[in-house]
Structures are given as C-alpha cells and as structure tokens.
Amino acid sequence: MTTDSSPVWDKPTKQQIHRELRERIVLLDLPPGTRLREEHLASEYGISRTPIRQVLDQLEFEGLVESIEGAGARVSFIDLKSLRDVWAVRLKIGELVSDFVRLPASEAAIAAVRAVRSDLAEVRKTRSFRDLGAAYNRYHEAMLSVVDNAALTRIHDLLYVQTARMWMQFLPEMNLDTEIDIMAEEVEQTLEALESDSGKRLAEIRTTHMRMLLGRFNQHVTRMPDF
C-alpha cells in the first residue's frame, strides 16, 4: 500500500487574501486602474469566487477598489484633493493615541519596531522605494498593536491605507536617503517612547512626523498642474 506524501497546500483565508491584496495595492504593485477580475484572483488563490468578492467589497469600503458597472472592479485612482481631508482627520486621530495606548508595550511590539529599524538598514543597501514602503507598513502595524481601543484601531488603520499610496506615488520624486533618515528618526523616537512608557510622547512623535510628511507632499502637489 502506498501513501501519497505530496504536500497539502492550505488554502488562504479571506483575511490573508485581504491583507496581501491590500499590501499589493498600497505598495503600487497593483497600480491605480488595474482590473481585478474575480475569476483570475480565485484561480490565483485556489478558492471560489465568493470569498474573493467579499475581499473586494472590503477593499472597496477602504477606498482602495472601485466597482465598474458591468465590468467588475479595479484599483481606485488616487484623489489628492480628497486625501487632504483624510490627512486632516488622521492628524486629529493621532492626537487621541495617548489616551488609548497600552503601556508598557509588549515585548512583541517593541521587537517589531526594532525589526523595522533593521529593515531600514537593508533599504539603504537595496535602494528600493518599495522596500521602504513595506517597512513603513510594518511600522504602522506595530503601532496599531499598542492601541488598546478596537474602534480607534479600525479608524486609524482605515485612514492610513487611504493615504499610504499617496506617499508611495510621490516617493520616487523624493530624496530616498532623506526619507530613510526621517523614518529612522521616527522609529528611534518611538522606541524611546515605548521603553519609557510615555503615551503622550508617542502621540507627539506620530503627529509631528505626519505633519512633516504632509508638508513634503504639499511641496510636490503645489507644483502639479491643475491642482
């Protein structure tokens, strides 16, 4: 009697597919306007079209996907004017973080931020804008893990993904070393705040760097025609 020893492939969950597709959209692996066909995605992930449709609905709610009447879905285009309003809300939300931070931070959260610091050292070698974006996504996830309020976490995450593509779009026009240095400074300051159990300081760091980033965006946006 023979036994089939071929490996069994575990089908990804909806959460895993959502996470991966969202990452691909945010990092512009799937740029604005890319068609997202249910049948192709179902084949890629080895699942039925129903969970794919549910994932696309969730991405549409997050503003990353838009439905096309009679033609499925596509990655949404980036509306820079609307994102200014999103940024304004992000800054206000950032000010609330100090009231809901879970401190002292877990070892896992601190380790995740330290790992981002190591990622940045690698980005200096790879010179990859995408790698820098991926590192910031991991930093964002580490920051979510220290917020002890489910509603605030969901809102903060939603607003982040709506603005993250904006940074990725402008990043190639920016000075890579400067962006790495600024992010490295934010990571180091965050580690100091987490290790000193200072929720107020953590909120100040995040809002300060968001304002700095928005300022750099505005410098590019004001040079764009018809804006």
Average pLDDT of the residues in 119-138:
96
Weakest-pLDDT range from 41-45, 76-80, 127-131:
76-80
SS3 string, 46-100, reads: CCCHHHHHHHHHHHHHCCCEEEECCCEEEECCCCHHHHHHHHHHHHHHHHHHHHH
| CATH architecture, range 80-221 | Up-down Bundle (1.20)
**Domain extent listing, the chain:** 14-75, 80-221
Residue 143 DSSP SS3: helix
The model's pTM is 0.88
Q: With a cut of 90, say whether residue 2 has pLDDT above it.
A: no
- 80-221 shares the fold of 14-75: no
Q: Of 1.10.10.10, 3.40.1500.10, 3.10.20.30, 3.30.70.270, which CATH number belongs to 14-75?
A: 1.10.10.10
Q: Are 124 and 101 in contact (CB under 8 A)?
A: no
